[in-house]
Amino acid sequence: MNSKHVSVFIPCLVDQVYPEMGIAMIKLLRSFGYEIFYHKEQTCCGQPAFNAGQRKEAIKVAGHFVEVFAEDGLIVSPSGSCTAMVRKYFPNLFEGHHACETAAALGGRVLEFSEFIQQEDLLNKISGKWKGRIGFHNSCHSYRELDIDDFPLRILKRIDGVEPVRPPGEPVCCGFGGLFSFKFPAVSATMARSRLEQFFELGLKTIVSNDPGCIMHLRQEAKDKNMNMDILHLVEFLERTTKTI
Amino acid sequence: MNTQKQFKKQSAEKAHDQQHLLKIRKAIRTYDEKVAEMKQAQFIDWPAARKQAGQIKQYVLENWADLLEQFESNMKENGAEVLWAETAEQARQIFLEIADRHKAKKIVKSKSMTTEEIELNETCEANGIEVWESDLGELIVQLAGEKPYHIVTPAMHKSKAEISKLFHEKLGSVESDSAEELTMIARAHLRQAYVTADIGVSGANFLIADPGLVHITENEGNIRLTTACPPVHVVIAGIEKLLPRLEDLALFLPLLATSGTGQQLTGYNNLIRGPRAAGEADGPRKMYVILLDNGRSQLHADPKLRIALRCIRCGACLNACPVYKTIGGHSYQTTYQGPIGAVLTPQFRGIAEWHHLSDASSLCGACTQVCPVDIPLHELLLENRRQSDEQSNTSLFWKQSLKIWAVIMSDRGKLNAFHRAAANGAEAAALLLPHETGKRIPKLARQTFAQWWEENEQS
Amino acid sequence: MNSREKILQRLRQSSPLQNPATSPFGNDAGIFADYTDDENKWLSQFRAKFAALNGELYEVGNIAEAGQQIQKLLSGASPVLAQEHPLIREILPTVEPDTDFYPGLELSAPEFAEYQAAISVADCLVARTGSIVLNSRSAGGRRLSILPPLHIVIAKTNQLVPSLSEAIALYLKTKMDWSYAVIITGPSRTSDIEKQLVLGAHGPKRLAIVLLHAS
Ligand code: SF4
């Protein structure tokens, strides 16, 4: 085992609601031979306030993030959305701020989980067994802000017996959008149902995604509509199916 | 009811309207397939093409005044009159003066969102001038007493059966379930209008500065008839419609057709330099171009939002938008719907009253991805939200909630305390994000990741 | 200050940079997948594109054949209104339908409504898009080619250009003393009703080209 270090960023939603996703990611990273570095003071990237237009509040939280992670090398996160916040939007948020440079530099070092696998060339360290077709839901931020396209599918294909499937056409939003889902719940719920139906129509009952926000939202709508679907984070799915752990 | 409440109500109703949903999905699916196919067939590198188009439009924005003057002087040379309107009201006045000068009792009109913007139809009717919409989709919404549902396909929400019934009631035609027969009913109905109208009114897709020329695109031929038959032609166009040179059309026409309808080129691309020239067989004897500002030059002063003025009104961002596809065009209550409408309307008509349109987005970025002139639409929605908050439009509830949230989230100790207080599930979370909206909060985990780490990993 | 000056002043004040001029677009070969500069391919490309647009293309070798072809096209479509043009004059004596030459504005609307077909020439044909380009001076005005239900265009193979840029360049070389030009890509059409394609929405339902092979 080599002794490479990697820092993990556990987004607030994972910390507070889905710690199992964080735990799964850590186990996987260890199985690849990494030593994990976890900053206990970490909280959130600031996205909720940023998306609401409340820059002061966003800076307060994002500033904390920058302080916590400023000195780190590579930082892995199980969320495409939070990664996009740091990489794509920190420069905008911190425009004219004294921490601007530090904040912008973080963008190059925070990686979403599948990006990390790709960048560190870890694909062949993944193997396992499962049986069946799996729908992949790429989050909008992952797809459009981070340009993550089919690499997560290549990861899934490492598991014997998995046939990953994407609904035809461009990836469609799950309808979450953070505060949007609170401000316009009916619209947001219909969007989730439309997305779920795309998978359902293809007979896909297991859906894997790389974003805890989408997962939370889709799970809720699936439950409300009595759609019997299993919606998992990529790291959860891998943890359940890989041999190396 | 204020616009915001109305929007919330109507969008929620539409979100539950299964039939509406299916109709729109079906129409847009047909569009999506055609567009994807045409991008493939026509463009070597679509992203490169849109980037180039974006740069040309950016050039316009940065040399706007000069190019407008160039357009004006070139059009004048060809015998057209160019008139400037700072506001919608001025544009209406200018139009009424022209109508009065030519003693117009009846106008025939081709589809133009700019005339919707200045509410030309209402103005004409109030002044005893009959208005005949000549675009099939526009005719349908006019007869139905509605506003356009979509900037490119105004009657997208109407089924064949509804149109048949409408034509039967308003035009006295026999009911039909054939799209072809219905189209022929409209054709016959409008033929009279072209040849008896006193003025033909059109919008413009592009105003070419060099050489001076108005470009208008269409498929049906109604624009050709509208600009060929009546003795007077009036163009009403937003000042942002400029392109520097005729050559640029070789890029913009395929780009617009592909994004707008999935065609390689639309059926007729009309290039109009002026009224009938000496020695020509026919054509209007007078041509006027009304250049409408109506907030555009003010928006130009905003360095972040200026880029929205690149828009060529192709409608692609509407079709890509999952919110538009859920709530439909009418919920917006605006001339321009969808993402571009949600960017422009708060700017043109006041953030205080219209910021809810910028809020009603999951920021998925599908609009930005499809825009043929490379406008970062979802980032502009964010900028609108920032401006809205800066102008204190954020509701007290959200403002306070996020303030408390920021205090907790910038201090791990407080976050831990928060979670402890919420040990029995979502009670404290409910404090943070109460059920104002009906969206449920997920139950908090019994143990946070941080606690798990502390228990299991602390050496 | 009047509105014009106010608008221009505002734009000048907020014009941010002295942006270096972009050069005019003219890079069809670098942008369009279906662009070809091989002259020998233009005709076959035009054939395919025009057919896909529901256009009717008739290729003929000489004036006499052109006359015969037009006669065939006009069966059941008379009277005919033709553009006053030497080439059309040359072809038409070999045709016997009820033909009038378009006199311009003096032809009243009800009279115009009688005509079942129009014949005009064009300025060029665009291979890449299957389009016909014509203008109000070279093709007999604005009304002729849009009012009757059948529009017949007489063109020659040496009028083919590869793409829009070349068509535009042709115009820019001239005085452009026309008031109206149009790039016609297929017969009049609409998909406004449930996205179903219907031909002949307001303009010609049929668009035909009689293409003379330049010898
Ligand atoms: S913003 Fe872009 S995609 Fe939307 S209508 Fe305008 S040009 Fe088209």
Q: Which residue has the tokens 């939002």?
A: B305
User: Smallest Cα–Cα separation from B364: which of A192, C9, A107?
Assistant: A192
Nearest by CB to residue B65, choosing from C12, C105, C131, is: C12
pLDDT tens per residue across span B320-345: 999 999 999 999 999 999 999 999 99
Distance, CA of C71 to CA of C119 (rounded, Å): 12
Would you state the pLDDT for residue C189? 95
- What torsion do the CA atoms of B223, B227, B233, B239 make, to the nearest 10 degrees? 50
Does one domain contain both A9 and A113?
Answer: yes
pLDDT per position as a tens digit, C24-46: 788 899 999 999 999 999 999 99
Q: Report pLDDT digits (tens) over A204-228.
A: 999 999 999 999 999 999 999 999 9
Chains A and B touch (3+ CB pairs under 8 A): yes
Asked if residue C178 has pLDDT above 50, the reply is yes
CB B288 within 8 A of CB B81: yes
Asked if A181 is an interface residue toward chain B (Cβ–Cβ < 8 A), one would say yes
B371 CB near ligand 1 (under 6 Å): yes
B342 CB near ligand 1 (under 6 Å): no
Same domain, A108 and A185: no
Q: What residues does each domain of chain B span?
A: 43-294, 307-391, 397-456
Bridging pattern class, strands A34-38 and A75-77: unpaired
Across A56-70, B386-400, C86-100, C101-115, the highest mean pLDDT is recorded for A56-70
Q: Tell me the average pLDDT across A120-147.
A: 95
Do residues A242 and A129 lie in contact, with contact meaning Cβ atoms separated by under 8 Å? no
- Burial grade of B168 (CB within 10 A; 0-12, 13-18, 19 or more): middle
**Contact criterion met (CB below 8 Å) for C156 and C87:** no
- In the reported structure, the alpha carbon of residue C106 is separated from the centroid of ligand 1 by a whole-number distance in angstroms of 43
Q: Residue B43 has which token pair?
A: 């463009």
Q: What is the pLDDT of residue A56?
A: 95
Cα–Cα–Cα angle for C125, C129, C130, nearest 5°? Answer: 50
Q: What is the pLDDT of residue B422?
A: 78
Give the separation between CA A69 and CA C180, rounded to whole angstroms.
Answer: 64
B57 lines ligand 1 (CB under 6 A): no
Confidence of residue B200 (pLDDT cuts 50, 70, 90): very high
Contact C165 B221 (CB under 8 A): no
What's at C119, amino acid-wise? I
pLDDT (tens digit per residue) in B135-163: 999 999 999 999 999 989 899 999 999 99
Find chain B residues with C-beta within 8 A of A18's C-beta: 445
**B343 φ, ψ to 5°?**
-80, -50
CB distance A173 to A80 below 8 Å:
no
- Does residue A245 carry a pLDDT above 90? no
Nearest-neighbour CA in chain C from B176: distance (Å): 12
Do the Cβ atoms of A206 and A219 come closer than 8 Å? no
CA distance C154 to B201: 31
Chosen domain end from A74, A96, A118 = A118
Instruction: Indicate if ligand 1 lies below 6 Å from the C-beta of B314.
Output: yes
Cα C161 from Cα C164, distance rounded (Å): 8
- The span from the CA of B76 to the CA of B425, in Å, is 73
B430 pLDDT higher than 70: no
Q: Residue C201 C-alpha to ligand 1 middle, in angstroms?
A: 26
* Confidence check: pLDDT of B392 > 90: no
Both tokens of B17, joined, read 């309207």
Nearest CA in chain B to A171: B366
User: pLDDT tens-digit profile of A160-206?
Assistant: 999 999 999 999 999 999 999 999 999 999 999 999 999 999 999 99
Note whether A237 and A129 are same-domain residues: yes
CB contact B303 to C (< 8 Å):
yes
A neighbours by CB contacts (3+ pairs under 8 Å): B
The CATH number for A134's domain is: 3.40.50.1860
- Copy the structure tokens of residue B340: 């571009």
Cβ(B316) – ligand 1 distance below 6 Å: yes
Going from the C-alpha of B121 to that of each of A159, A218, B151, the distances in angstroms are 63, 45, 16
A51 closest CB neighbour out of B363, B388, B457 = B363
Closest chain B residue to A213, measured at CA: B442
> How close B106 gets to chain A, by Cα (Å)?
43
Range of the domain at A97: 5-118
Touching A: B residues 266-325, CB under 8 Å: 320, 322-323, 325
Axis-axis angle for helices B338-349, B377-390 (nearest 10): 30
pLDDT tens digit string along B51-106? 999 999 999 999 999 999 999 999 999 999 999 999 999 999 999 999 999 999 99
Contacts of C147 in chain B (CB under 8 A): 225
Cβ pair A17:B445 closer than 8 A = yes
**What's the mean pLDDT in B309-324?**
97
- Ligand 1 lined by B320 (C-beta under 6 Å): no
Summarised one tens digit per residue, pLDDT across range B255-281 is 999 999 999 999 999 999 999 999 999
As to burial, measured by CB atoms within 10 angstroms (0-12 exposed, 13-18 middle, 19+ buried), residue C54 is middle
Instruction: Measure in Å the smallest separation between the Cα of A161 and chain B Cα atoms.
Output: 31
Q: Answer yes or no: are the C-beta atoms of C124 and C158 closer than 8 Å.
A: no
pLDDT of residue B217: 97
| Ligand 1 atom closest to residue B338's alpha carbon, by position in its atom list | 4
Torsion angle, alpha carbons of B246, B247, B251, B257, to 10: 30
Q: By the 8 A CB rule, do A137 and A214 touch?
A: yes
Query: CA-to-CA distance for B212 and C122, rounded, in angstroms?
Result: 22
Chain B, residues 104-163, CB within 8 A of chain C, namely 134-137, 140, 153-155, 158-160, 163
pLDDT attached to residue B434: 47
Which class is B43-294 in CATH?
alpha beta
Q: Are residues B396 and B75 in contact, defined by beta-carbon separation less than 8 angstroms?
A: no
Same domain, A193 and A133: yes
B416 touches chain C (CB under 8 A): no
| Tokens read off for B376 | 């970062």
Q: Chain B closest CA to C101's CA: distance in Å? A: 11
Whole-number CA gyration radius for chain A: 18
Classify residue C176 as left (phi > 0), alpha (psi -120 to 50) or beta: left
pLDDT > 90 fraction of chain B, expressed in percent and rounded? 89
> Do A109 and A131 belong together in one domain?
no
Q: Does A64 touch chain B (CB under 8 A)?
A: yes
Answer yes or no: do A102 and A135 share one domain.
no
Judge: C192–B31 Cβ closer than 8 Å, yes or no. no
CA distance B317 to A232: 30
Q: List pLDDT tens digits, range B347-356.
A: 999 999 999 9
Interface residue B248 vs chain C (CB under 8 A) = yes
Q: Is the dihedral of CA C132, C136, C141, C146 positive or negative?
A: positive
Residue B294 Cα to ligand 1 middle (Å): 19
Asked if A21 and A14 count as a contact pair (C-beta separation under 8 A), the reply is yes
Q: Does the CB atom of residue B216 touch ligand 1 within 6 A?
A: no
Band of pLDDT at residue B192, cut at 50, 70 and 90: confident
Instruction: Please tell me the predicted confidence (pLDDT) of residue C77.
Output: 83
Residue C95: which pLDDT band, with cuts at 50, 70 and 90? Answer: low
Residues A85 and A155 in one domain: no
Could you give the number of structural domains in chain A? Answer: 2
Residue B327 has a CB neighbour count (10 Å cut-off) of 30
Residue B243: which of B212, B218, B265 has the closest Cα?
A: B212
* Residue identifier of the C-alpha nearest atom 2 of ligand 1: B371
CB-CB under 8 Å, B253 with C202: no
CB-neighbour burial class of residue B365 (10 A; exposed 0-12, middle 13-18, buried 19+): buried
Q: How confident is the model at residue C92 (pLDDT cuts 50, 70, 90)?
A: confident
Q: Which pLDDT score, from 0 to 100, does residue B209 have? A: 97
The 3-state DSSP class for residue A136 equals strand
If you measure from the C-alpha of residue B339 to the centroid of ligand 1, how many angstroms do you get, rounded to a whole number?
A: 8
The separation between the first and the last C-alpha atoms of chain B, rounded to the nearest angstrom, is 61
Mutate to test the pocket of ligand 1, among B114, B317, B337, B347 (most ligand atoms within 8 A of CB): B317
**DSSP β-bridge partners for residue A35:** A5
For residue C79, cis peptide bond before it (omega within 30 degrees of 0)? yes
Mutate which: B265, B293, B309, vs C, most C CBs within 10 A: B265
Closest partner residue to B402 among A19, A48, A188, by Cβ?
Answer: A48
Average of per-residue pLDDT values in chain B: 93
Q: Across chain C, what does the average pLDDT equal?
A: 92
CATH number for the domain running over C37-212:
3.40.50.10420
CA atoms within 13 A on the CB side of C80: 25
Task: List the helix and strand counts (H, then E) for chain A.
Answer: 14, 8
Reduced 3-state DSSP string for A84-104: HHHHHHHHHHCCCCCCHHHHH
Q: Is the CB of residue A68 less than 8 Å from the CB of residue A41?
A: yes
CA–centroid distance, B329 to ligand 1, in Å, is 15
Place of tokens 């009243």: C108
For B282, the closest of C6, C104, C189 (CB atoms) is C104
Average pLDDT of chain A is 94
Give the C-alpha separation, C190 to C203, whole Å.
Answer: 10
Mean pLDDT of B24-41: 94
Cβ of B450 and A61 within 8 Å?
no
Measured between alpha carbons, how far is residue C126 from residues B32, B371, C141, C153 in Å? 26, 27, 21, 14
B245 touches chain A (CB under 8 A): no
B94: nearest CA partner in chain C: C3
pLDDT at C195: 87
For C136, which of B182, B246, B283 is closest by C-beta distance?
B283
Cβ-Cβ contacts under 8 Å, B291 against chain C: 7
Looking at the CA of residue B336, tell me the nearest atom of ligand 1.
5
Q: Is B408 in the pocket of ligand 1 (CB under 6 A)?
A: no
> What band does A242 get if pLDDT is binned at 50, 70 and 90?
confident
pLDDT band at A1; cut points 50, 70, 90: very low
pLDDT at C98: 77
Percent of chain C at pLDDT above 70?
Answer: 95
Inter-chain Cβ pairs, chain A and chain B, closer than 8 A: 184
Residues A110 and A205 in one domain: no
Question: Which residues on B lie below 8 Å from C189 (Cβ)?
Answer: 219-220, 267
Contact assignment for B228 to C180 by CB distance below 8 Å: yes
